Chain A
Amino acid sequence: MFRLDGKTALVTGASGGIGAAIARTLHAQGARVVLSGTREAVLAAVASEIAPDGERVHVCPADLSDPKAADALVAAAEVAAGAPLDILVNNAGLTRDGLAIRMKDEDWNRVMEVDLAAPFRLCRAVLKGMLRRRAGRIVSIASIVGVTGNAGQANYAAAKAGMIGMTKSLAQEAGSRGVTVNVVAPGFIQTAMTDVLPEAQREKLLGGIPLGRMGKPEDIAASVAYLASDEAGWITGTTLNVNGGMAMP
């Protein structure tokens, strides 16, 4: 079950911990994967780690803060892979945290641009072909804070909540063509970012997670692989909360 043989997937933000795990898992399930991100050297390293012989792995760097980059990326990915995209994973994102009363417009705008506008443009670009081919999977990586909110992340939480609303709309538009559009909303995932938290803060965080541990990038990747599979063909517009039980919306 959940095999992706013969499918082609584009994963944005594939140089990060979660993105790399998603790419690795989709590849292990048999998909051809195109890795995108801004850091070309890191992408190349991830690609060679996934498949030292380069089989079914391609690298297409892109800076999604450029509004023209999304269309260009989809075109470049299809050329690199030599096949149309069956799966889009919107994983790229960034944070510019700060309490609202001190948040600058540029911090708000940058997060909206990269975390919400760019995924929309990528969806728009892949949907044209998916609708025509009567098949396709879009999985966007949001965040638990898009559902619960989080002090210091008004911009990020708004963008991620926006992603959930966008997904529900696209799911309704594309459903009649067999294209599904879903969200995975991770909770606290063990990454370089959370490794540096003070011990007391980590303890407090863990206390709020019924399953008693931080998430692993692989926990997110497995959910993405499932939603990208043929077997998930009757699930659309949903948000899969993968957070160890920290929030049960």
Chain B
Amino acid sequence: MSEIADKVKKIVVEHLGVEESKVTPEASFIDDLGADSLDTVELVMAFEEAFSVEIPEDAAEKIATVKDAIDYIEKQKAA
């Protein structure tokens, strides 16, 4: 797993207080990890801070799973 993926996973575990084993790439923040809309906004802000990226509102709306977040951040970092 990439460094970015590791860090994303860690943030999700910390923020949502879920078990690490549940944070699979396919896991949906809302459907599988019990997040509400406020959690998803807080997660996006935590990603922004941790990776020094800006995630605009329209992109943030499309981040539904752990993999969505990793992919988006990896793309930003590669650019």
Contact = CB atoms under 8 A, between A and B. Distances in A.
Interface of B: 36, 38, 42, 45
A85 B36 CA distance: 24
A173 B42 contact: no
A131 B42 contact: yes
Contacts of B42: 131-132
The majority secondary structure among interface residues of chain B is helix
8 contacts: A128-B45, A131-B38, A131-B42, A132-B42, A173-B38, A176-B36, A176-B38, A177-B38
Interface residues of A, number: 6
Q: What is the interface of chain A mostly: helix, strand, loop, or mixed? A: helix
Contacts of B38: 131, 173, 176-177
A131 B38 CA distance: 9
A176 B42 CA distance: 13
A132 B45 CA distance: 12
A235 to B, nearest CB: 20
Nearest to B42: A131
Nearest to A175: B38
Contacts of A132: 42
A132 B38 CA distance: 11
A132 B42 CA distance: 9
Interface string A201-230: 000000000000000000000000000000
